[in-house]
Amino acid sequence: MTTTKYFITGANLLGEKLSDITIEDGTITAVTDAAENPTAPEGFEHIDAAGLIALPGLVDPHVHLREPGREDAETVETGSRAAALGGFTAVLNMANSMPVADTAGVVEQVYQLGQDSGWTFVQPIGAVTVGLAGEQLSEMGAMADSRAKVRVFSDDGICVWDPAMMRRALEYVKAFDGVIAQHAQEPRLTEDAQMNEGDLSVKLGLPGWPAVAEEAIIARDVLLTQHTNSRLHVCHVSTKGSVEIIRWAKSQGINVTAEATPHHLMLTEELVETFDPVYKVNPPLRREEDVMALRDAVADGTIDVIGTDHAPHTAETKCCEWPYAAMGMTGLETMLPIVKAALIDTGKISWADFARIASYTPAKIGNLEHMFGQEIAAGANANLILVDPEVSYTVVPEEHASKGRNSPYRGKEVTGKVAYTFYMGHPVVADAQLNTPNTTSQARH
């Protein structure tokens, strides 16, 4: 018989208070001060969480699980396993699959694959335009009304560059409180771009991706959002100038949210000098001053969430000459230790802040707050993780559950690892290893 009752003792709740947590049938039924000599109630499995930090299950607003169409790079199953190991109880999957997730049929297929997998909740993101071509709005209303209940729409990987199209999309999603998640990249300014534009790109002889190509689209879109009184989410912010535009927009009361990736919070353009295509990503790695501006923006709330932009690729498309290599990095299984190193260990944020940017707020943006991103309290769904903040280990991509081996942290020594991931009350990860999927109490809209 499957255990559905767990008694977690001595967990450091949000890094602030030692607590005992009781879980029954997918729900947190009690959170109390840690007892000196706790005894598990009869019928409960006891988990000793001494030395572990309890956090709400993480929510990733930006992943690429590649299915359907690119199962050689990733599948919903393998990506869900990677998400569980990374502490994610919900992920929002981008639309640039093959076929594109621009119809109710495709988003329902992805949604069902996530339900069948049972490792994490997979929420599809719908395309803004048909085929990501930027010429005709997709059937966003049908996707919103589907079983997947899509609320986030994005052509990520391609910018919705036409201002009239962007305006119509912002107006359309208001009918169901949707949000447009924009990949901010002015296409004419980034033709054949290979890395950040600057002195280094000139030195290396690589076509540059100027910061203004991102900043110009963000400036346009926040004004369109103000004009339409709609909702905008800016994907993978990467420049200091973008931060200033978003900060101004928020000061004007414009309904804009923004995300930063772990790699843009940690890595800089100097790594491109190696010509190792693992460092080729869109938007590109920027300057040290951009990295520092992003960290400050997360700390002061200008940037709302962390999104991994998990982008697995096959060796054939990634391990080749730099100009021909695909853009993207994996990130689900390394997000927590990298963000810990960039923001928590540097004193920028606390573990409670981490819960906000990696759980509470992304759940709200994705319209999932009724299931995920809830505080660890009696009555909440039992989506939570237990983190060992002190364990140190070396990143070995070949040991990851993701099919992608294109991690920029290969060989890096990191600290902090997810020891347990509870997805709807079931430990899909136990003792830092995949356990079993949740096939009895899956999350549904």
Domain coverage including residue 422? 5-54+378-393+411-434
Q: Are residues 227 and 322 in the same domain?
A: yes
Judge whether 227 is annotated as a binding position: no
Judge whether 310 is annotated as a binding position: no
- Report the predicted TM-score, pTM, of the whole model to 2 decimal places: 0.97
Which carries the bigger pLDDT value, residue 439 or residue 188?
188
Judge whether 383 is annotated as a binding position: no
Domain of 37: which CATH number? 2.30.40.10
The values of phi and psi at residue 266, to 5°, are -125, -40
First-to-last C-alpha distance (Å) of the chain: 27
Please indicate, yes or no, if residue 226 is contained in any of the structural domains: yes
Q: Are residues 383 and 415 in the same domain?
A: yes
Tell me the average pLDDT across 371-400.
Answer: 98
Q: What is the pLDDT of residues 291-332, one digit of tens each?
A: 999 999 999 999 999 999 999 999 999 999 999 999 999 999
Torsion of CA 374, 356, 211, 280, to 10 degrees: -70
CA nearest neighbour of 180 among 135, 129, 214, 136: 129
Judge whether 66 is annotated as a binding position: yes
Q: What is the DSSP string of 214-257?
A: HHHHHHHHHHHHHHHT--EEE-S---HHHHHHHHHHHHTT--EE
Which strand (E) or helix (H) includes residue 203? helix 199-204
CA nearest neighbour of 298 among 359, 243, 374, 366: 243
Task: Using alpha carbons only, give the angle 55, 61, 62 rounded to the nearest 5 degrees.
Answer: 125
Distance, CA of 323 to CA of 277 (rounded, Å):
9
Catalytic residue among 192, 199, 309, 353: 309
Q: What residue has token string 């209303």?
A: 141
Q: Are residues 49 and 61 in the same domain?
A: no
Q: What is the pLDDT of residues 95-144, one digit of tens each?
A: 999 999 999 999 999 999 999 999 999 999 999 999 999 999 999 999 99
> How many domains does the chain divide into?
2
Q: Are residues 13 and 148 in the same domain?
A: no
Distance, CA of 149 to CA of 145 (rounded, Å):
6
Q: Are residues 186 and 322 in the same domain?
A: yes
Say how many C-beta atoms besides its own lie within 10 A of residue 433's C-beta: 8
Q: Are residues 327 and 417 in the same domain?
A: no
Distance, CA of 338 to CA of 261 (rounded, Å):
10
Distance, CA of 406 to CA of 63 (rounded, Å):
14
Please indicate, yes or no, if residue 246 is contained in any of the structural domains: yes
Q: Please report, for residues 12, 157, 299, 313, the alpha-carbon distance to residue 352 in angstroms, rounded to integers and kept in the order given.
A: 11, 32, 12, 33
Confidence at residue 1, expressed as pLDDT on a 0 to 100 scale:
39
Confidence at residue 439, expressed as pLDDT on a 0 to 100 scale:
83
Please indicate, yes or no, if residue 176 is contained in any of the structural domains: yes
Tell me the average pLDDT across 12-20.
Answer: 97
Confidence at residue 2, expressed as pLDDT on a 0 to 100 scale:
58
Please indicate, yes or no, if residue 400 is contained in any of the structural domains: no
Q: Are residues 313 and 332 in the same domain?
A: yes
Q: What is the pLDDT of residues 45-80, one digit of tens each?
A: 999 999 999 999 999 999 999 999 999 999 999 999
In the annotation, is 72 catalytic? no
Confidence at residue 440, expressed as pLDDT on a 0 to 100 scale:
76
Domain of 227: which CATH number? 3.20.20.140
Judge whether 434 is annotated as a binding position: no
Is a pLDDT exceeding 70 seen at residue 441? no
Confidence at residue 378, expressed as pLDDT on a 0 to 100 scale:
98
Q: What is the DSSP string of 267-305?
A: --GGGGGG--GGG--SSPP--HHHHHHHHHHHHHTSS-E
339's CB contacts (< 8 A; 6+ apart) are 262, 265, 306, 354, 358
Q: What is the pLDDT of residues 240-283, one digit of tens each?
A: 999 999 999 999 999 999 999 999 999 999 999 999 999 999 99
The values of phi and psi at residue 355, to 5°, are -60, -35
Q: Please report, for residues 214, 374, 432, 434, the alpha-carbon distance to residue 359 in angstroms, rounded to integers and kept in the order given.
A: 26, 8, 20, 21
Confidence at residue 37, expressed as pLDDT on a 0 to 100 scale:
86
Q: Are residues 30 and 81 in the same domain?
A: no
CA nearest neighbour of 221 among 174, 271, 186: 186
Residue type, 53: I
Please indicate, yes or no, if residue 401 is contained in any of the structural domains: no
Q: Are residues 387 and 284 in the same domain?
A: no
Distance, CA of 75 to CA of 83 (rounded, Å):
12
Judge whether 156 is annotated as a binding position: yes
Which strand (E) or helix (H) includes residue 324? none
CA nearest neighbour of 277 among 161, 405, 155, 184: 405
Please indicate, yes or no, if residue 296 is contained in any of the structural domains: yes
Is a pLDDT exceeding 70 seen at residue 220? yes
pLDDT above 70: percentage of residues in the chain: 98
Q: Are residues 272 and 387 in the same domain?
A: no
Q: Are residues 12 and 120 in the same domain?
A: no
Are 284 and 263 in contact, with CB atoms under 8 Å apart?
A: no
- Supply the mean pLDDT for the chain: 97
Please report how the helices 240-251 and 288-300 are oriented relative to each other, as an axis angle in degrees rounded to 10: 30
Please indicate, yes or no, if residue 403 is contained in any of the structural domains: no
Q: Are residues 284 and 209 in the same domain?
A: yes
Confidence at residue 148, expressed as pLDDT on a 0 to 100 scale:
97
Is a pLDDT exceeding 80 seen at residue 38? yes
